[in-house]
Chain A
Amino acid sequence: MLRAHRLHPIEIWGPPHIARHEGNRHFQTYACDIVVKAMAFIRSGGIDATRAILVPHTCDALQGMGSVLTDFFRPDQRVLTLYLPRGRRTSDRDFLRDELARLSKTLVQVSGHEPNATEWAEAFEAEDAADAALADLYRRRNALAISDRDFYTAVRSREFLTAEKFCEQVATLPAGQAPRGGVGLMISGIVADPFELFDQIEQMGAHVAGDDLACGYRRVYSASHEHDPLIRTANRLMSCPPDPTCGTPIHERVEALQTRMRALGAKGLLIYDPKFCEPELFDVPLLRKHLNEAGFPVLHVEYEMGEGLPHQTLSRIEAFVETLS
C-alpha cells in the first residue's frame, strides 16, 4: 500500500546507541523500550529525512506514542495511525478495509500521488514476491550455509530494504550445510535484540531452530488475490501467523507453536521479551503450562533494549540449554 503511494517504509524497533532519557521526557519508566527509544530516536533527529511517521495500533504503548506524537510533540512529519483489529471475523476484515481506505486518503496527501490500478498491481506483485521470498527463506533455512545471526540479519532486512533488493539479497545467500549444531531452540517474543544473542546461543552449543518473533516469523504473510487493493491488503495483514497482539486465542498459539517445534526439531522454547510488554507477558504462564504438558520446557527472559546482554541473562539461557542437551 505504501509502495503504491510511492512511499518507502523503514521500521523502527528500538534503534541501538540511542539514549532512553530523551524518550523519558514523554514516557514513564514503565513504558516499553520500543516506544521510549523510538521517541528518543525521533527527538534526536533520526528520522528527519522522512515525510511521515506511521504508528500502527497494536498495544497500549504504541497507542500512547501515537497520541503523544500527534497531540504534544508534533514533529515536522505528518503522524499517521492505523488501527489493527484484534479479531479475525468478517466484521474485522471489513473494518480493516475501511480503515485502510482512510489511511490511503492520508497517504495521497503525504505523497501527492494517488495510485491507479496498474500501480496497485505492480506494488502487489513486488511485495508479494518479497513475502514469498521471506517465506521461502524460512523453508530453506536448513539448506543455507549461514549462521543464525546472518539468517536473522537477512530476515530483518525486510524492515528497510525495497522488495526488489530484499529478493535479490536473499537469493544470494549461499546454499549448503547450515553451520549449526547442538540442541535446537524455538525463540518467541517481539524482537531478538541484540544480534549478539544468536552468537551467544551458538557458543552455548545450541541453535535457533525457528522463531515466533513479531519481527520474524509472524511477518510471513500469505498472498491474497482479491481484485480490490484494500481488501487484498486487509487479507494479507490478517493472514499472519498466531500473534497475541492480534488477539489470537492462546490455545491456537500453543497448537501452532507445538506443531512448528516438532516439525523443526526444537527441544524447548525461549521466550525473550523486552521489559513491560503486556501482550507477551500475559501469555507466558499459559504457554509454559501447555508446552510443558506437551514435553517442551520453556524459559522466559526479559531484557532492556540496547543494554547489551547481561551476564545473568546469558547464564539463565545457558542453564536452559544444558537442561535440554
Chain B
Amino acid sequence: MSESDALAHYVESNRLEHFVNYELVGKSALRVQRWRDQWKLKRRKPRPDSPLSPPLQCVAYMKEIMSRHYLEGRYASGVRKVAWVTSGAPTEPLQALGYFLVYPENHAALCGVRRKAQSIAEEAEHAGWSRDICSYARTDIGAMLSGKTPAGRLPRPDMLVCCTNICQTVLHWYRVLADYFECPLVLIDTPFLYDEAHDHEVAYVKRQIEDMIHVAEEMAGTTLDQARFAEVMQNARRGAELWLEVLNRSQNRPAPMTAFDGFIHMGPIVDMRGEAVAVQYYERMLHELDARIARGIGAIKNERYRVLWDNLPIWFKIGEFSKSLGEHGVNVVASTYTYAWGELAPMIDPNNPLESMARVYLHPILNRSTGHKLEAMKKMVDEFQLDGVILHSDRSCKPYSLGQIDQRDRLSKTLGIPALLLEADHNDPRDYSNEQGANRLEAFIEMMEARG
C-alpha cells in the first residue's frame, strides 16, 4: 500500500489520529529519543562512588519499544480491537488476530516504578475498594475511575481475558472491569496443580482456549490465520527461550545483570510475547550480556554475595535496593518471578499449538504447589551458586506468599543458607517500613558475612 493509499484508508475509517500521532510522528520521535538515550549512555562516565556498573546499553531500546506500545495504546481504540489481559493469559491467538493487548498488571507496575501507584490507588480506595485487596488491582481500578496514568491514556477494552494461573484475585478484579466497561469477560480457568497436571485439566484449559478463539474471532469479524498463528507461536517460543538465556547468564561470576535489571527488562516478554520485536530485543540484550561476561564486567562492581529474590519486586524500591545492597557487595542475581516467563519455553510447541498452550499456561510457578516452588528455589540456589534468599512476603500477592514461612524454614535448615522474610507490598509504599526493612536486610547480610 502506498503512503497516499494508506492515508486515504485511515481518513476513510476515521483513523487519522492514530496515523498521525502514532505511525507518523510518535514512532519517529521515539526513535530519535532512543538515539539520544544511546548517545548519553555511551558518553556516561562510570561513577567511582557507585557500587553499580553502568546500566545496560540496550535499556534505550527497551524504553523505545515499551513507550511505543503504550503510545499506540493511546490511539488504538477504533483502529484495532482491544483486549485487556492478565499477564499469564494465552494471548498468542489474540495477537494473531490483530488485537491490541493491554496488560493492566504491567501498567500498575509502571505506576509503581514511577512512584504514582499510591495516589492512583487512593482513587480506588476513596471509591470503596479496601486496602487489603491487591495493590495492582487498586492501582488499575483507580486509573480506570480517575483517568490518572503515567501512560497518557489506556484504550477502552472491547474484551477482557482473565486467566487464573497467576491468582484468583484476577477473576474478582476482572469482574469489576467487566461491570465498569460493560464488555465480555472471557475466563480461562486453570486448575491449581498440587502435583502434576492431569489429562482432564489439560483438556479443560485447551477447550477454554478454543472457546476464547471463537469469541475473539467473532468480535474481530475475522478468522484465525493459521500461518500467522504459527508465526506468533514461533516468536513466543523463541522469545521465551532467549529470555531464559538472558536470565541464566547471571550464573556467571560476576553476574552481568541483577534481578532488579531483570524486573525492568521483562516488559517485552510480558507485553509483547509472540511479537518479533521481543525476539529481536532479547537477542540484542543477550549479545550485550555476553560482551560483559567476556570482559569480566559485573552488574555490581564488587560482587561478594549472590542472592535469590522470591516473589514480585517491590517496584517503588527497585533502584534503592539495587544500590543499597550493592554497597554491601550483594548482588540479587536471580528471581523466581522473572523466571516464570522463561522456564516454560521448552513446552511451547508451534506444531501443536493449542495442546501445548494448555500445558504451558497450566504450569507457571504461581499455579504450582508450595513444595514445587521450594524445589525450584533449591535448584536455583545450586545453579546460581547463591549465598542467601530474600523472600518478599507480599501483602498484595497471597498465592505467591502463602507457604513462604515453611519455604524459608526449609531453605535455612536443608541448605544451611540465610533466608529472610521481608514484609512489604509490590506497589503500595504504605506497607513497607523503611527502618524495619533496612534493619532486617542488614541482619541478613551479617548472617552471610558470618558464613564467610
Interface residues of chain A, those whose CB is within 8 Å of chain B, are 25-28, 30-31, 57, 59-61, 63-68, 70-73, 81, 83, 85-87, 89, 91-92, 94-95, 98-99, 101-102, 244, 247, 249-251, 275-276, 278-279, 281-286, 288-289, 300, 302
The residues of B that contact A89 with a CB separation of less than 8 Å are 211
**How far in angstroms is the closest Cβ of chain B from A209?**
24
Verify if B191 is at the interface (C-beta below 8 Å from A): yes
Verify if B218 is at the interface (C-beta below 8 Å from A): no
Question: Measured between alpha carbons, how far is A25 from B434 in the docked complex, in Å?
Answer: 25
Verify if B356 is at the interface (C-beta below 8 Å from A): no
Q: How many residues of B contact A (CB 8 A)?
A: 49
**How far in angstroms is the closest Cβ of chain A from B437?**
15
**How far in angstroms is the closest Cβ of chain A from B187?**
5
Contact between B172 and A283 (Cβ–Cβ < 8 Å)? yes
Question: Measured between alpha carbons, how far is A72 from B405 in the docked complex, in Å?
Answer: 10
Contact between B134 and A72 (Cβ–Cβ < 8 Å)? no
**How far in angstroms is the closest Cβ of chain A from B396?**
9
The residues of B that contact A300 with a CB separation of less than 8 Å are 128
Task: State which of B34-42, B77-85, B200-208, B295-303 sits at the interface with chain A.
Answer: B200-208
Chain A contact residues: helix, strand, loop or mixed: helix
**How far in angstroms is the closest Cβ of chain A from B180?**
8
Contact between A71 and B374 (Cβ–Cβ < 8 Å)? yes
Verify if B189 is at the interface (C-beta below 8 Å from A): yes
Indicate the member of A31, A63, A73 with the most B CB atoms within 10 Å.
Answer: A63
**How far in angstroms is the closest Cβ of chain B from A196?**
25
Shortest Cβ distance from A57 into B: residue: B192
Shortest Cβ distance from B423 into A: residue: A28
The residues of B that contact A64 with a CB separation of less than 8 Å are 370, 398-399, 402-403
**How far in angstroms is the closest Cβ of chain B from A213?**
18
Indicate the member of B130, B167, B402, B403 with the most A CB atoms within 10 Å.
Answer: B402
CB-contact partner of A60 in B129, B167, B198, B374, under 8 A: B167
Question: Measured between alpha carbons, how far is A144 from B419 in the docked complex, in Å?
Answer: 59
Contact between B370 and A281 (Cβ–Cβ < 8 Å)? no
**How far in angstroms is the closest Cβ of chain B from A238?**
13
Contact between A67 and B176 (Cβ–Cβ < 8 Å)? no
CB-contact partner of B406 in A31, A71, A92, A289, under 8 A: A71
**How far in angstroms is the closest Cβ of chain B from A229?**
17
Shortest Cβ distance from B199 into A: residue: A98
CB-contact partner of A71 in B168, B207, B211, B370, under 8 A: B370
Contact between B194 and A247 (Cβ–Cβ < 8 Å)? no
CB-contact partner of B405 in A26, A59, A65, A247, under 8 A: A26
The residues of B that contact A67 with a CB separation of less than 8 Å are 192, 194, 369-371, 402-403
Verify if B127 is at the interface (C-beta below 8 Å from A): yes
The residues of B that contact A286 with a CB separation of less than 8 Å are 176, 179
Question: Measured between alpha carbons, how far is A47 from B220 in the docked complex, in Å?
Answer: 54
The residues of B that contact A278 with a CB separation of less than 8 Å are 132-134, 168-169, 172, 398
CB-contact partner of B179 in A26, A95, A250, under 8 A: A250
Verify if B395 is at the interface (C-beta below 8 Å from A): yes
Verify if B109 is at the interface (C-beta below 8 Å from A): no
Contact between A282 and B194 (Cβ–Cβ < 8 Å)? no
Contact between B403 and A81 (Cβ–Cβ < 8 Å)? no
Contact between A99 and B200 (Cβ–Cβ < 8 Å)? yes
Known: A86-B164, A278-B134, A282-B129. A61 touches B204 (CB 8 A): no
Indicate the member of B134, B169, B179 with the most A CB atoms within 10 Å.
Answer: B179
Contact between A91 and B194 (Cβ–Cβ < 8 Å)? no
Question: Measured between alpha carbons, how far is A5 from B45 in the docked complex, in Å?
Answer: 74
Query: Would you list which residues of chain B between 374 and 399 have a CB under 8 Å from chain A?
Result: 374, 393, 395, 398-399
Shortest Cβ distance from B405 into A: residue: A26
Verify if B411 is at the interface (C-beta below 8 Å from A): no
Contact between A284 and B128 (Cβ–Cβ < 8 Å)? yes
Verify if B91 is at the interface (C-beta below 8 Å from A): no
Contact with A along B118-144 (1 / 0, CB 8 A): 000000000111101110010000000
The residues of B that contact A276 with a CB separation of less than 8 Å are 132, 398
Contact between A31 and B398 (Cβ–Cβ < 8 Å)? yes
**How far in angstroms is the closest Cβ of chain A from B355?**
16
Question: Measured between alpha carbons, how far is A289 from B180 in the docked complex, in Å?
Answer: 12
The residues of A that contact B187 with a CB separation of less than 8 Å are 86-87, 247
CB-contact partner of B370 in A59, A68, A95, under 8 A: A68
The residues of A that contact B194 with a CB separation of less than 8 Å are 66-67, 70, 81
The residues of A that contact B204 with a CB separation of less than 8 Å are 85, 91, 94-95, 98
Question: Measured between alpha carbons, how far is A65 from B398 in the docked complex, in Å?
Answer: 11
Verify if B63 is at the interface (C-beta below 8 Å from A): no
The residues of A that contact B402 with a CB separation of less than 8 Å are 27-28, 31, 60-61, 63-65, 67-68
The residues of B that contact A60 with a CB separation of less than 8 Å are 167-169, 398-399, 402
**How far in angstroms is the closest Cβ of chain A from B369?**
5
Can you report 29 A-B residue pairs in the complex whose CB atoms are below 8 A from each other? A28-B402, A30-B395, A30-B398, A60-B168, A60-B169, A63-B399, A63-B402, A64-B370, A67-B194, A68-B403, A72-B406, A83-B191, A83-B201, A91-B211, A92-B189, A94-B207, A95-B200, A95-B204, A98-B204, A99-B191, A102-B200, A276-B132, A278-B132, A281-B129, A282-B129, A282-B176, A283-B175, A286-B179, A300-B128
Verify if B171 is at the interface (C-beta below 8 Å from A): yes
The residues of A that contact B178 with a CB separation of less than 8 Å are 249-250
Question: Measured between alpha carbons, how far is A176 from B158 in the docked complex, in Å?
Answer: 55
Supply 4 further A-B pairs (C-beta < 8 A) apart from A28-B395, A283-B172: A31-B398, A60-B402, A67-B403, A282-B137
Question: Measured between alpha carbons, how far is A111 from B416 in the docked complex, in Å?
Answer: 41
Shortest Cβ distance from A31 into B: residue: B402
Shortest Cβ distance from A253 into B: residue: B175
Contact between A282 and B133 (Cβ–Cβ < 8 Å)? yes
**How far in angstroms is the closest Cβ of chain A from B4?**
47
**How far in angstroms is the closest Cβ of chain B from A33?**
12
**How far in angstroms is the closest Cβ of chain A from B397?**
9
Verify if B235 is at the interface (C-beta below 8 Å from A): no
**How far in angstroms is the closest Cβ of chain A from B357?**
15
Contact between A281 and B398 (Cβ–Cβ < 8 Å)? no
CB-contact partner of B175 in A72, A95, A282, under 8 A: A282
CB-contact partner of B198 in A61, A102, A279, under 8 A: A102
The residues of B that contact A72 with a CB separation of less than 8 Å are 370-371, 403, 406, 410
**How far in angstroms is the closest Cβ of chain A from B129?**
6
Question: Measured between alpha carbons, how far is A61 from B410 in the docked complex, in Å?
Answer: 21
Known: A57-B192, A60-B167, A281-B132. A68 touches B406 (CB 8 A): yes
Shortest Cβ distance from A284 into B: residue: B128
Question: Measured between alpha carbons, how far is A17 from B406 in the docked complex, in Å?
Answer: 25
**How far in angstroms is the closest Cβ of chain B from A83?**
4
Question: Measured between alpha carbons, how far is A95 from B403 in the docked complex, in Å?
Answer: 27
Verify if B173 is at the interface (C-beta below 8 Å from A): yes
